[in-house]
């Protein structure tokens, strides 16, 4: 009897992955728990063990394939399949694998769909029962919902709006008017036009959008579409902090750690998050609530050959500078080597990204949705700084580092951002005060 092995659910919100390698071939005998596939999904590379003990009857995927949860990847047999004669006279093992190809009829029960797909349908105003499913056993996928939304947008022919009459402009007691009130008919999102044929103007090369780049593209598009971004910038004098870092770095390196400026910013950010807890939150639009977290799990963006990956350092408030120096170095190394587990990138409350080593004068990062803020560190430079007041001052060289805070304007305002950033600046400019907060 044959058994079909499908891509399992690898975690909340994970719907597909790219096959990196297939470790077995038809005819191989495998044991339960033996690694048979490597799949990269949502920035994590995962080895999938065999759920069966038996013989590989058929492999249905190859490296580079994009597979969805529920997709049949390998068919196993027990070695006792009955041989049957095909129409061409050859014999082959009878396939006893049972797969539902028909779309089940929709009754009054719930439509099969993941929580993320349901949330997407709510955001787009789509009734799931109207969507044709493409997933196994009638599962409606996020791609099904998006395709349906695009079809609705293309087919909608809204009549021209009538000009408001004088009576319709009457201002209500709450300060709004009928002319400014939300329309009862939702505005259809314009369909994305097809790309032109770039080959008309010269030779082109098409590179598949896969693995980390594919996941990053989807997540950044989601973040940019959901979060109204505002950026606040400031400068921090890290002259004293850099002197301390250089003095202590050899002792930390002797313990296999790395004392970087990011480590200090992690601690300064936690102090600011405790003082201004709304930056450590997420916005639940469905329930009209701001979810303020009582824990401090900070994401740190890591540049790797596979793309930008954001591992999460947990409980930063409970760890010392030395502990963070060790953990951040080890985490960055495992991230770049592709050994990071999926759960190590989940549960973040605030993100820090540092492009200082790469140069540039500044940048505007995108909030790591569903967080509400992200702090960017630029390249520190020696600059002439005026110290004192207009009556008595001096110009001295100071090591200045630019900071940029991107935040969700639905949850936070510019004044909040200014206070939050100044709290970080003051902590970094006064290392003695920062040590007292550790």
Q: Annotated catalytic, 229?
A: no
The percent of residues above 90 in pLDDT, for the chain, comes to 47
| 337 part of a folded domain | yes
In which band, very low, low, confident or very high, does the pLDDT at 177 lie, cut at 50, 70 and 90?
A: very low
Of 111-115, 227-231, 242-246, give the lowest mean pLDDT range. Answer: 111-115
Provide the greatest CA pair distance for the chain.
103
| 289 part of a folded domain | yes
Kindly state the average pLDDT of the residues 383-409. 93
CATH of the domain at 32: 2.40.50.100
CATH of the domain at 134: 4.10.320.10
For strand 281-284 and strand 289-292, is the pairing parallel, antiparallel, or unpaired?
antiparallel
Of 44-58, 92-106, 262-276, 406-420, give the lowest mean pLDDT range. Answer: 92-106
CATH of the domain at 309: 3.30.559.10
Of 76-80, 251-255, 308-312, 392-396, give the lowest mean pLDDT range. Answer: 76-80
Of 61-70, 114-123, 139-148, give the lowest mean pLDDT range. Answer: 114-123
Assess whether 34 and 136 both reside in one domain: no
Assess whether 48 and 125 both reside in one domain: no
In which band, very low, low, confident or very high, does the pLDDT at 210 lie, cut at 50, 70 and 90?
A: confident
Assess whether 132 and 69 both reside in one domain: no
Domain count, the chain: 3
Kindly state the average pLDDT of the residues 377-391. 91
Contacts of 192 (CB under 8 A, 6+ apart): 150
Is pLDDT at 416 greater than 80 in this prediction? Answer: yes
DSSP states along 27-83: T-EE-TT-EEEEEEETTEEEEEEPSS-EEEEEE---TT-EEETT-EEEEEE-S-PPE
State the residue range of the domain holding 344. 228-437
Task: Kindly provide the residue ranges of all beta strands, DSSP E only, lying in 126-278, ordered along the sequence.
Answer: 229-237
> pTM (2 decimals)?
0.66
Assess whether 323 and 423 both reside in one domain: yes
- Comparing 45 with 369, which gets the higher pLDDT? 369
| 206 part of a folded domain | no
pLDDT in tens, 288-346: 999 999 999 999 999 988 888 999 999 999 999 999 999 999 999 999 988 888 789 99
Highest-scoring range by mean pLDDT, 73-82, 110-119, 139-148, 199-208: 199-208
Which CA distances in Å does 238 have to 255, 402, 416, 420?
25, 10, 23, 18
Is pLDDT at 432 greater than 60 in this prediction? Answer: yes
The domain boundary, picked from 149, 167, 199, lies at: 149
pLDDT in tens, 51-72: 788 899 999 999 888 888 888 9
**Scanning the structure block, which residue is given the tokens 């049957």?**
84
Taking the mean position of all CA atoms in its chain, how far away is CA 95?
Answer: 40
The domain boundary, picked from 149, 173, 198, lies at: 149
**Bridge-partner residues for 204, per DSSP?**
none
Assess whether 43 and 133 both reside in one domain: no
In which band, very low, low, confident or very high, does the pLDDT at 34 lie, cut at 50, 70 and 90?
A: confident
In which band, very low, low, confident or very high, does the pLDDT at 150 lie, cut at 50, 70 and 90?
A: confident
For strand 29-30 and strand 302-304, is the pairing parallel, antiparallel, or unpaired?
unpaired
Confidence (pLDDT) at 39: 83
> Hey, CA dihedral for 51, 53, 54, 59, is it positive or negative?
positive
Q: Which of 219, 229, 297, 409 is catalytic?
A: 409
């Amino acid at each position: 009897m044959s058994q079909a092995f499908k891509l399992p659910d690898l975690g909340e919100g994970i719907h597909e992955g790219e096959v990196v390698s297939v470790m077995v071939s038809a005819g191989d005998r495998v044991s339960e728990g033996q690694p048979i596939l490597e799949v990269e999904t949502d920035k994590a590379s995962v080895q999938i063990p065999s759920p069966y003990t038996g013989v590989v009857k058929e492999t249905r995927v190859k490296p580079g394939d994009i597979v969805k949860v529920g997709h049949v990847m390998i068919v196993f047999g027990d070695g006792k399949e009955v041989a049957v004669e095909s129409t061409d006279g050859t014999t082959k093992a009878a396939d006893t694998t049972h797969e539902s190809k028909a779309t089940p009829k929709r009754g009054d029960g719930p439509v099969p769909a993941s929580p993320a797909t349901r949330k997407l349908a709510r955001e787009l105003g789509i009734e799931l029962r109207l969507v044709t499913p493409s997933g196994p056993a009638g599962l409606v996928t996020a791609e099904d919902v998006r395709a349906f939304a695009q079809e609705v947008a293309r087919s909608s022919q809204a009549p021209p709006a009538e000009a408001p009459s004088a009576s319709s402009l009457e201002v209500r007691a709450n300060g709004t008017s009928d002319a400014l009130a939300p329309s009862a008919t939702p505005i259809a999102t314009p369909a994305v036009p097809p790309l032109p044929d770039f080959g008309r103007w010269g030779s082109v090369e098409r590179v598949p959008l896969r693995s980390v780049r594919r996941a990053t593209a989807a997540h950044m598009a989601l973040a940019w579409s959901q979060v109204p971004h505002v950026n606040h910038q400031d400068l921090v004098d890290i002259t004293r902090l850099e002197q301390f870092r250089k003095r202590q770095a050899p002792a930390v390196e002797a313990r296999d750690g790395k004392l970087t400026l990011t480590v200090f910013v992690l601690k300064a950010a936690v102090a600011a998050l405790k003082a201004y807890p709304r930056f450590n939150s997420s916005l639940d639009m469905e329930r009209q609530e701001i979810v303020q977290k009582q824990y401090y799990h900070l994401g740190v963006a890591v540049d790797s050959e596979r793309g930008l990956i954001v591992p999460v350092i947990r409980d930063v408030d409970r760890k010392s500078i030395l502990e963070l120096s060790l953990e951040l170095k080890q985490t960055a190394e495992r991230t770049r080597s592709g050994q990071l587990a999926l759960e190590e990138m989940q549960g973040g409350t605030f993100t820090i990204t540092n492009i200082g080593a790469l140069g540039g004068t500044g940048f505007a990062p995108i909030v790591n949705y569903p967080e509400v803020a992200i702090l960017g560190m630029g390249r520190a430079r020696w600059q002439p700084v005026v110290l004192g007041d207009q009556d008595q001052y001096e110009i001295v060289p100071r090591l200045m580092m630019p900071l940029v805070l991107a935040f969700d304007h639905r949850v936070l305002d510019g004044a909040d951002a200014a206070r939050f950033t100044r709290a970080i600046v003051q902590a970094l400019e006064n290392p003695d005060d920062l040590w007292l907060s550790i």
